[in-house]
């Protein structure tokens, strides 16, 4: 039986972004896990236009090739880690736009958060938590926050993640918690599906 799949979502697309490096480091930490599997999902691979559908995808899926591709990718995953920067105390516009293009696909699936930048992107993540709740996700408690001092060290001072041991410790706690929620919620969704099929 295949393992539940968690997407590590790189939530920015601009040139020189740090998120790609952070996501790859996190993916390396997941090597050897036997409870769930992890895949990197890059928003650069889903160039969605600015959301302008006549109604919310809650009522009608967005009818475009890009939206269908993004929707299918999110639907096939069982949980998510959002790797996010903080732009003006909020998440990136490209991430908000991507979330606006879906509704039911991530429902009853867990979401964890990995932020970097000013105050470890804590303010952006608090907003992102609200968005995930509206989309029916279950945001988890533990996360990773790279505050400005280590962030600058990693960005411009040739530091490595290993120079800040607390990051791997925080990530391990986050991944363990996310793994538990992913398996538990998947079992619940599978039970609901089996019940519906039997009805």
Q: Which residues contact 78 (CB under 8 A, 6 or more apart)?
A: 4, 5, 6, 36, 109, 182, 185, 186
E-only strand ranges, the chain: 5-10, 37-42, 79-84, 110-116, 138-139, 144-146
Q: What is the CATH architecture assignment of 5-198?
A: 3-Layer(aba) Sandwich (3.40)
User: Each residue of 95-118: pLDDT tens digit?
Assistant: 999 999 999 999 999 999 999 999
The tokens of 173 are what? 């706690």
> pLDDT averaged over the chain?
96
Residue ranges of domains in the chain:
5-198
∠ CA 13-17-20, nearest 5°, is: 85
Average pLDDT per consecutive 10 residues, the chain (199 residues; last block may be shorter): 93 96 98 95 97 93 94 98 97 98 98 96 98 98 96 94 97 98 97 91
């Amino acid at each position: 039986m295949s393992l539940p799949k968690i997407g590590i979502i790189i939530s920015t697309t601009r040139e020189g972004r740090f998120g790609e490096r952070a996501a790859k480091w996190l993916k390396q930490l997941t090597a050897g896990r036997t409870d769930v599997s992890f895949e990197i999902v890059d928003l650069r691979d889903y160039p969605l236009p600015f959301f302008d559908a006549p109604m919310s995808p809650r009522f009608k899926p967005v009818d475009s090739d890009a939206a269908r591709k993004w929707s299918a990718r999110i639907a096939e995953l069982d949980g998510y880690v959002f790797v996010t920067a903080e732009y003006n105390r909020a998440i990136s516009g490209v991430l908000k736009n991507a979330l606006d293009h879906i509704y039911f696909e991530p429902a009853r699936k867990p979401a964890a958060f990995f932020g970097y930048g000013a105050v470890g992107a804590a303010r952006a993540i608090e907003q992102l938590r609200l968005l995930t709740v509206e989309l029916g996700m279950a945001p988890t408690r533990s996360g990773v926050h790279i505050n400005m001092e280590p962030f600058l060290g990693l960005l411009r001072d040739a530091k490595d993640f290993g120079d800040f041991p607390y990051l791997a410790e925080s990530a391990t706690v986050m991944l363990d918690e996310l793994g538990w929620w992913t398996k538990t919620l998947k079992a619940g969704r599978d039970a609901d599906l089996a019940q519906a099929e039997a009805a």
